[in-house]
Structure formats: structure tokens, C-alpha cells
């Protein structure tokens, strides 16, 4: 049913600029705007609420077409993609829904442990420690929004250590009174290690090396892909090989234990949030959406008031492509999600289609460097790979603008190193000019300098904790 629905609307949402090595790409943002235009004159209201930790709740109001035999399948797709995006943007263990019974039943079936969104259900249940549920709510009983604002980092005083944990390497930095006195990238292979002592000893040795460049350590901040609440590891791809029983005993509180050992203020947050913070520190601006393109995609948002809203912002699992045959993310099992468009995985996908071959011994970081090297030498196919990433980005900038109020987009991470970053940025800007001129006037794309692209998150992480004055 789903492919037939998309075929029926494909002509209306086909992009003007197509990725050469992914010609069937169908931007989700164009579909959302097209559907909303249909529902402008004749529609009915729906409301969605997403409850997460501590009773926090993010609400969303929208309009859908009146249901009929013709509009029901189309509306199911629309609401399904809308809620999936909101879930991974905001986070939550409970979905409140106000709207047609048929749509509610569809969502309840999707978001069950045996449904198509079983991965989402299981992961959110693990993160928030509560069974996932979808409930119907009447207009008079719909809960009110309840949001919080995290205290922004940016503390530059004292002697600090920062780290950013990636899949192929991790970065450490030593910062003294706001000045970077040491930074280093350290190769490692955490995702294949079942013993968490591997992760612990590698990170500790990196921090100890950075410590030698400071007279003392007064605070430590870190970032990594995954979900962290009160310094506890809830979900993290770096520990995917660790058995669940060991994860609970030795990984969940790993950073809590490290804080006790160092006996200084210690904070770790999602690497996407650090991306947004890094943008604020380097640009001195707010209303920033940060996108880190590394082993996966990480997102972070700093609002116009200079606050981190505390949302999940796991954009790696948020949909961006409506193509029914889009590449599958091997972790979530879903098609068309951000991880396959803004990461080393995306480069590998496009490069393979472009005709590049790799040996089994060449992992994704090696393949990325290989394609980046070819691009630097002017290889047309390699250049086109990164231009295709730029096309993805241009259309996804429009999608993200439907959910985030931002004026600055900061892109960084290993995928943006060297010429690759410039190609991605230029092509994304071309999409905005040709498809979304109003966004070209509103949103500016920023690339950090070469060193900042690679270690900027570690430096920004160092500014997270506040040093208490005695």
C-alpha cells in the first residue's frame, strides 16, 4: 500500500535537483508542505503530545484532510511521518493523540512492540524507563505543554578537560581560561568491544594525557552519540557490543563513576547538543541547529534565547526521505532516516553506487578518507558524492525548518573535512536558491575551520560544567 501511495504523489514532490547517485530521493519536507496545502481549505484538527522525563510534555497541533476512502491512506502516511519525526526530535515514552479514531488505531498498531515501529517503542521504553503507550485524549483532557530549558554551557574559566567520543576516534582537549592548550584525536574501535573496560581505559588514558598540559583539572565535560540523562548512559551506539546484563552493571553509571574518581564537576551530553553549543561559541549567535556528520548523524538545537531545550534531537532516526526503496539503517531497520544521509554510511552508500569498490578490510572511516582523497584530486565521481550529500542537506534544511526555528545551520564532523565540506555547503546553498529562496534569505550555513570540524566538539564540551566558587 505504502509504495502505491507514494507513486501517486511522486510527481508533485519530485525535487528539482536530484542526487546523481540516488535519483529516487523524495524529500519528506516537500511532501509535508504539499499535504498541508491540500488541507488548507478543507481540514480537521489533530493534536499530539509527547511526554518525556519528569512530566515534561511537548505539544503539536496540525490539520489533516477529512477522512475518506481516498484520503485515509495518504493521511496515515502524513501522520505517521509527522509523529516519527516529532518523537525523535522531542523524545517521549507516551504519545497523546486527539483526532479521528481510525488514525489513532493506526498509530496504536504501529507503535507497539510487534508493530513497524517496534524499534522506536523498545528504545524509548529503555531511555525513559516506562512502558511506551499511545492513548486517545478528548479535547477537554488534553495535557498542557511543559518544557524546561537547560543551562547553557560556555563556561570558560579555570582549567578544563573536554572529550568527544566518536565511532572511529575520540577527541580530547585541555582548555585553560578559555584557551585551547592541547587537543588530540585518538583512534579506537569501541563498537566491536564487548568489554566496557576497553572504553573506560581508552578514555581515561586520553584524559590523563590532556591533564599533563594543565596545572590542575577543575572540570570535565564530554559528548557522545546517544542519550544521556544525569550523566547516566541510556542508549549509546559506542556500547552496542556490550551484553545487556553487563551494560546495566558497568556502562549505565560509567560516567557517574568517572566523576567520583576525578572529583570535579563533570557533565556529558549528546554530541548533537554539543554541536549547537560549539556553534554558539564560534559564531556568537543563537537560533542554531547543529548537524554533526560522523559515524552517524547527530543533531542539536540552541533556541533564539540561547537555551538548549532538552529535547532528544536524535535526528539519525528521524525520517528525511519518502522513497519506499530508500536505504535501510541497519540499527533501527527503518528506511529513509537521517543516519543514511548525513554520515560515513551515507558516503559509503553513494560511493558504492558511483562505482567505487572497497576491500572488506576497509572500514567506513577508511572508505571516507579514500573518497575524500579522490575528491581532493578532482575525481569527478568522488566530487559528485559530496555534491549529492549537499543536495540531501539542502532539502533537509527545508524539512528541519518545519520543526525548528533556526537561522544558523552549523555542519561539522569528519565527513565535512577538507574539500568535502565546501562541496556539501555549496550544493546545499544551490538547493535553497533554486527551491526555497525564502529560506536562503533566512538560514545561513556555517562550516567551522578545519581543526574545529574535527575537535571543536571536545573543546565545546569542556565548557559544559560550572566550576563552583568556594
Using 50, 70 and 90 to split pLDDT, how confident is the model at 261?
very high
Residue 135 has pLDDT above 80, yes or no: yes
Write out pLDDT tens, residues 68-77: 999 999 999 9
Using 50, 70 and 90 to split pLDDT, how confident is the model at 397?
very high
Using 50, 70 and 90 to split pLDDT, how confident is the model at 225?
confident
Write out pLDDT tens, residues 159-213: 999 999 988 889 999 999 999 999 999 999 998 999 999 999 999 999 999 999 9
pTM for the predicted model, two decimal places: 0.88
Average confidence (pLDDT) over 146-157: 82
Task: Supply the pLDDT for residue 52.
Answer: 94
Residue 452 has pLDDT above 60, yes or no: no
Residue 450 has pLDDT above 70, yes or no: no
On the question of a common fold for 159-273 and 282-457, the answer reads yes
Task: Supply the pLDDT for residue 229.
Answer: 84
* Percentage helix, strand, coil for the chain under 3-state DSSP, each rounded to 5: 45, 20, 35
DSSP 221: E
Spans of all domains in the chain: 39-141, 159-273, 282-457
Average confidence (pLDDT) over 384-405: 98
Q: What is the DSSP string of 175-211?
A: EETTEEEEEEEEE--GGG-S-THHHHHHHHHHHHHHH
Q: Helix/strand/coil (H, E, C) string of 52-78?
A: CHHHCEEEEEEEECCCCCCHHHHHHHH
Average confidence (pLDDT) over 49-62: 95
Residue 449 has pLDDT above 70, yes or no: no
Compute CA distances 317 → 108, 164, 178, 242, 313, whole Å: 19, 21, 34, 21, 9
Please state which CATH class domain 282-457 belongs to. Answer: alpha beta
Average pLDDT, the chain: 93
**Could you give the angle at the alpha carbon of 334 between the alpha carbons of 333 and 337, nearest 5°?**
130
- Alpha-helical (H) ranges within 47-145 are 71-90, 101-110, 118-128
Task: Supply the pLDDT for residue 451.
Answer: 47
Average confidence (pLDDT) over 346-360: 97
Task: Supply the pLDDT for residue 468.
Answer: 85
Residue 2 has pLDDT above 50, yes or no: yes
CATH number of 159-273: 3.30.420.40
Task: Supply the pLDDT for residue 282.
Answer: 81
Task: Tell me how far apart the terminal alpha carbons of the chain are, to the nearest angstrom.
Answer: 65
Residue 37 CA to residue 310 CA, distance in Å, equals: 31
Of the listed ranges 17-21, 276-280, 374-378, 427-431, the least confidently predicted one is 276-280
- State the residue for C-alpha cell 582548555: 175
Amino acid at each position: 500500500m505504502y509504495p502505491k501511495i507514494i507513486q501517486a504523489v511522486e510527481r508533485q514532490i519530485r525535487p528539482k535537483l536530484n542526487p546523481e547517485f540516488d535519483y529516487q530521493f523524495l524529500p519528506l519536507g516537500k511532501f509535508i508542505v504539499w499535504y498541508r496545502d491540500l488541507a488548507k481549505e478543507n481540514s480537521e484538527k489533530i493534536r499530539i503530545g509527547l511526554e518525556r522525563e519528569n512530566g515534561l510534555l511537548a505539544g503539536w497541533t496540525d490539520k489533516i484532510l477529512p477522512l475518506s476512502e481516498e484520503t485515509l491512506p495518504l493521511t496515515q502516511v502524513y501522520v505517521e511521518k509527522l509523529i516519527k519525526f516529532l518523537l525523535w526530535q522531542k523524545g517521549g515514552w507516551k504519545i497523546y493523540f486527539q483526532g479521528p479514531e481510525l488514525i489513532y488505531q493506526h498509530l496504536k498498531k504501529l507503535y507497539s512492540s510487534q508493530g513497524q515501529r517496534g524499534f522506536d517503542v523498545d528504545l524509548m521504553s529503555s531511555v525513559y524507563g516506562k512502558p511506551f503507550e499511545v492513548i486517545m485524549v478528548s479535547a477537554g483532557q488534553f495535557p498542557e505543554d511543559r518544557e524546561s530549558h537547560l543551562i547553557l554551557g560556555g563556561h570558560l574559566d579555570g582549567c578544563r578537560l573536554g572529550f568527544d567520543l566518536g565511532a572511529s576516534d575520540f577527541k580530547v582537549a585541555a582548555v585553560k581560561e578559555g584557551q585551547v592548550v592541547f587537543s588530540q584525536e585518538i583512534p579506537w574501535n569501541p563498537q566491536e568491544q564487548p568489554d566496557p573496560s576497553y572504553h573506560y581505559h581508552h578514555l581515561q588514558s586520553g584524559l590523563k594525557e590532556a591533564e599533563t598540559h594543565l596545572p590542575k583539572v577543575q572540570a570535565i565535560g564530554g559528548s557522545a552519540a546517544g542519550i544521556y540523562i544525569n550523566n547516566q548512559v541510556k542508549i549509546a551506539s559506542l556500547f552496542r557490543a556490550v551484553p545487556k546484563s553487563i551494560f546495566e552493571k558497568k556502562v549505565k553509571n560509567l560516567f557517574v563513576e568517572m566523576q567520583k574518581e576525578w572529583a570535579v564537576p563533570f557533565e556529558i551530553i549528546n554530541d548533537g547538543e554539543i554541536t549547537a553549543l560549539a556553534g554558539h561559541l564560534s559564531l556568537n549567535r543563537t537560533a542554531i541547529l547543529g548537524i554533526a556528520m560522523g559515524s552517524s548523524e547527530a543533531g542539536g538545537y540552541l533556541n533564539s534565547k540561547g537555551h538548549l531545550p532538552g529535547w532528544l534531537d536524535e535526528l539519525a532516526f528521524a525520517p528525511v526521505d519518502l522513497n519506499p526503496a530508500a536505504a535501510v539503517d541497519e540499527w533501527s531497520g527503518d528506511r529513509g532516516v537521517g543516519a543514511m544521509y548525513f554520515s560515513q554510511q551515507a558516503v559509503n552508500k553513494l560511493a558504492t553506487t558511483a562505482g567505487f569498490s572497497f576491500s572488506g578490510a576497509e572500514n567506513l572511516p577508511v572508505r571516507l578518507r579514500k573518497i575524500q582523497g579522490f575528491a581532493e584530486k578532482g575525481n569527478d565521481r568522488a566530487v559528485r558524492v559530496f555534491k549529492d550529500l549537499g543536495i540531501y542537506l539542502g532539502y533537509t534544511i527545508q524539512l528541519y525548518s518545519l520543526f525548528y526555528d533556526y537561522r544558523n545551520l552549523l555542519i561539522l564532523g569528519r565527513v565535512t573535512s577538507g574539500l568535502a565540506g565546501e562541496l556539501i555547503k555549496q550544493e546545499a546553498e544551490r538547493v535553497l536558491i533554486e527551491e526555497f529562496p525564502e529560506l536562503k534569505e533566512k538560514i545561513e550555513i556555517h562550516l567551522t575551520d578545519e581543526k574545529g570540524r574535527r575537535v571543536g566538539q571536545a573543546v565545546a564540551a569542556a565548557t559544559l560544567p560550572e566550576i563552583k566558587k568556594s
